[in-house]
């Protein structure tokens, strides 16, 4: 999980569009399942965030942090859409049924 104070993204491009990430309203059964490669991508971005947090704060810190958070969100959208497309394809082929 990634927690951050809303003030971090206030008055940023991410703050202006955070509500457009619809997956914040998904139910538990709509969870995102990651492949190993997808998990590694997100882990690398988290490591960049950790590194930035542990560095000295400067005039660029907020921008770097919010950009990396936005990158995580954009990858999450991509991975979730991939998951939904895969599931739809499996259902239409009769290979997969959801209870």
Distance set, CA 77 to CA 50, 54, 83, 95 (Å): 22, 28, 10, 25
85-88 contacts, C-beta under 8 A, 24 or more apart: none
Q: What is the pTM of this model?
A: 0.80
The pLDDT-based confidence of 87 (bands split at 50, 70, 90) is: low
Where along the chain do its domains lie? 6-92
Q: Alpha helix (H) ranges present in 1-99?
A: 6-9, 13-17, 36-54, 61-92
Distance set, CA 23 to CA 27, 59, 62, 66, 95 (Å): 9, 31, 24, 18, 26
Q: Look up residue 95 and give its DSSP letter.
A: S
pLDDT of residue 86: 72
pLDDT of residue 8: 95
Is the pLDDT at 94 greater than 60, yes or no? no
51-74 pLDDT tens trace: 999 999 999 999 999 999 999 999
12-40 pLDDT tens trace: 999 999 999 887 777 666 778 899 999 99
Tokens of 29: 């059964």
């Amino acid at each position: 999980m990634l927690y951050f104070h809303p003030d971090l993204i206030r008055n940023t491009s991410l703050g202006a569009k955070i509500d457009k990430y619809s997956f914040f309203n998904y139910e538990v059964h709509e969870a995102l399942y990651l492949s190993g490669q997808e998990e590694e991508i997100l882990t690398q971005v988290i490591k960049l965030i950790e590194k930035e947090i542990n560095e000295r704060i400067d005039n660029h810190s907020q921008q770097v942090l919010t950009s990396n958070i936005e990158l995580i969100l954009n990858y999450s959208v991509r991975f979730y859409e991939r998951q939904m497309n895969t599931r739809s394809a499996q259902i239409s082929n009769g290979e997969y049924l959801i209870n």
